[in-house]
Amino acid sequence: MLKTMTSEIDRIIPVYKPVGFSTFDLIRIFKKKTGYKGKIGHGGTLDPFACGVVLLLLGKATKKFEEIKLWDKVYIAGLRLGIDSETGDIAGEVRKFEPQNIFIPDRESIEKAIKNFIGEIDQKVPLYSAAKYKGRPLYKLAKNGIKVEKSKMVKIYNIELINYRYPILTIRVCCSGGVYIRQLAHDIAEELGTTCLLFYLERERVGNFTIKECYLIEDFEKITIQ
């Protein structure tokens, strides 16, 4: 049986977001398929190109957003070395390419580089992000040519090198809430003396909720709302 969470907060429903859907698409589809008309929100968004665990917050659970968004998370990230884009991921136009015969980091260099990002770090906030400056999202400012430099302290508990065959690098990241995986990928590539494009991102876990406990979109009609 799939797991939800109820207590003094009404309900938290773990959902698997497929690639190509926004977090707000999930909310819209959920309301349509279940007929739910109450207060609803989320515990943290995922970009449309990403997939994985998204928490839908129902009723009083929406008031716990600031707490829930900081829950620890686990991600699988796919990096394509030698390519970059304005946004740091596949949503942006490629702006740099290094021919494969110029620089190829070895596995030992990568293992050493990722260790430098384990612990509490001061992470730059990506220009293309939903973080706000004077009430305006940074990505909207960036689109208008306004670049705002911001950073924040975050925790990286572990980075595991899953697979590497140049130019593709795959890592698993266990971290606190609030970590920008796009920025982490960029910083790791920079440490290696190259650049990268985040082409794949899957959120495996949020707090105690894992992928195996998530409802798929096609399961929404089976959910009973009390």
Tell me which residues are annotated as active site: 47
CA distances from 207 to 41, 69, 72, 146 (A): 17, 9, 5, 35
**φ and ψ at residue 141, rounded to 5 degrees:** -65, -45
> Which residue type, as a one-letter code, is found at position 100?
Q
Asked if 215 and 54 touch (Cβ cutoff 8 Å), the reply is no
CA 65 from chain centre, in angstroms, equals: 16
With 0-12 CB in 10 A as exposed, 13-18 as middle and 19+ as buried, what is 81?
Answer: buried
Cα atoms found within 13 Å of the Cα of residue 178, Cβ hemisphere only: 19
